[in-house]
Structure 1
Amino acid sequence: MSEPNRSSPPNAPMRRGRLVAATLGSLALAALIVLGAILPAEFNRDPLGLGRLSGLSRLWAPEDRLVGGEAAGVARAREYDAPFRTDVIEIPLGDFLAGADRSELEYKVRMRKDATLIYSWEVVGTDEPRDFHFDQHGHTTPKPGEAMTVATHRQAFGLKQHGALTAPFDGIQGWQFSNSSEKPVVVKLRLAGFYELIPPGQAGNEAGVIANVPADRARPR
């Protein structure tokens, strides 16, 4: 006599133990998918390290934040007709006993409106900030009978300054340097940007300073 068939009928419900195991397995797989795939790819979170290993973390990217091309009416990006240039100007100044014509001078460069100048200068020869004064300003060069526009950027005592300037108008921009120490000094000025050097003797360079030469040759007597 043959043995009775002990297999479950086709439509018999799943045993409780197998049901619990299947449920736990599904939950574990779902958690693995969330922690190992969805979080790294969608939220840049990788608690298991699987996103980095699988490359899924590279799929995440923050939402773009758009910024306008202008701020307060000023363009963030500009193009200029004049080429970019750099210059080094060493300006010798005598001590205060040498007289105003030797201990102070004005040095400027020519700039078009909205052009950018990056500058850095320091004083060599004294370590006392109160011995040196600078007046950073600019103005237009009007024709006879026309009014002059003047912009004052900064006036202070100090031995160095680093920064950038955007010209508010067509004209000349620069500094009045004054040495009141008991020793002669040299102002080492470095410029970069979109500007033109002013020839010696013209407005803005009445002292006749020559750029890109050592200090002993920069201010012929």
Structure 2
Amino acid sequence: MSITANQPLPSTSRLLRATFIATAVAAVLLITTVLPAEYGVDPTGIGRTLGLTKLAETPVDSDPVAIATVTSINSDANQALAEKAKAAFGENNGQTLDAAATSLTTGPIRTDTLTVTLAPGKGAEVKAHLKQGAGAVYRWKATGEVAVDMHGERPDVKGAWTSYSVEAAQSEAEGTFIAPFDGTHGWYWQNRGTAPVDVSVEVIGFQADLYRP
């Protein structure tokens, strides 16, 4: 490929025109995408239509005030744990602390089981009362696939709940659970098939009960 040395330079008017176009494009991008995505400012409404304004929303987990509060609580708890450890066993350079890993609960450990039968197109709910911080190990199994919403509800609050796990088609699940607030916590299963389905659930932990509303 050869290079021609005598190519004419662009005129001043062409340079100004190109600069104007580039500036205009940058301004449009700033108004329609950058401002909605970064700062939630959406003067044209395009950012909301494209879902960009959601990017500017600060999640609770990244809220500096929330982080500072949790850090302060954890720090105080770890300090108290450090003093107990030092008094009981002396200082140990290899020891680290995480007081938040346990949540002491009073009351007996229970084992509860319950089975519900879901007719085609029907659903059922099973709940347990748990105090904030109380834990349980759970396992449920169905004779067919069901839609499931594992969730919790606060006392005296109607028509609102907090979902922990949602699946459109599942036949079994097991795991551990720590109640994030006082209230009822459990599952709603729905049979979307054409034959009846039995769902059996077992909970071992500090729940006060296991019941069908």
Give TM-score scaled by structure 1 length: 0.50
Q: Which runs of 5+ in 2 are unaligned?
A: 1-91
Equivalent residue for 1:83?
A: 108
The Cα shift of 1:67 comes to 2.6
1:185 is matched with which residue: 197, 202, 206? 197
Mapping of 1:1-221 within 5 angstroms?
A: 65-70=94-99, 75-96=100-121, 103-124=122-143, 126=144, 129=145, 132-142=146-156, 150-156=161-167, 157-197=169-209, 205-206=212-213
The Cα shift of 1:106 comes to 1.3
In our comparison, the structure showing a higher alpha carbon Rg is 1
The Cα shift of 1:150 comes to 3.3
The Cα shift of 1:152 comes to 1.2
Deviations 1:142-199 (A, max 9, x none): 2xxx788732101102111111111000001001110011111111111100001155
Q: For residues 65 and 109 of structure 1, do their structure 2 counterparts lie closer, same or farther at Cα, with a shift above 3 Å needed?
A: same
- The answer to whether the 8 A contact 2:137-2:205 is kept is yes
Which amino acid letter does the alignment assign opposite residue 182 of structure 1? T
Deviations 1:41-86 (A, max 9, x none): xxxxxxxxxxxxxxxxxxxxxx97323132xxxx223322221011
Which amino acid letter does the alignment assign opposite residue 107 of structure 2? A
- The answer to whether the 8 A contact 1:140-1:148 is kept is no
Equivalent-residue separation in structure 1 for 2:203 and 2:102 (angstroms)? 20
Equivalent-residue separation in structure 1 for 2:117 and 2:160 (angstroms)? 29
Which amino acid letter does the alignment assign opposite residue 115 of structure 2? E
Greater length-normalized contact order (CA 8 Å, ≥ 6 residues apart):
1
Equivalent-residue separation in structure 2 for 1:185 and 1:151 (angstroms)? 26
Equivalent-residue separation in structure 1 for 2:125 and 2:150 (angstroms)? 10
Cα RMSD, aligned residues only:
2.2
Aligned-partner SS, 2:94 = coil
Aligned-partner SS, 2:147 = strand
Equivalent-residue separation in structure 1 for 2:187 and 2:136 (angstroms)? 13
Higher share of residues assigned helix:
2
Give TM-score scaled by structure 2 length: 0.52
- The answer to whether the 8 A contact 2:113-2:210 is kept is no
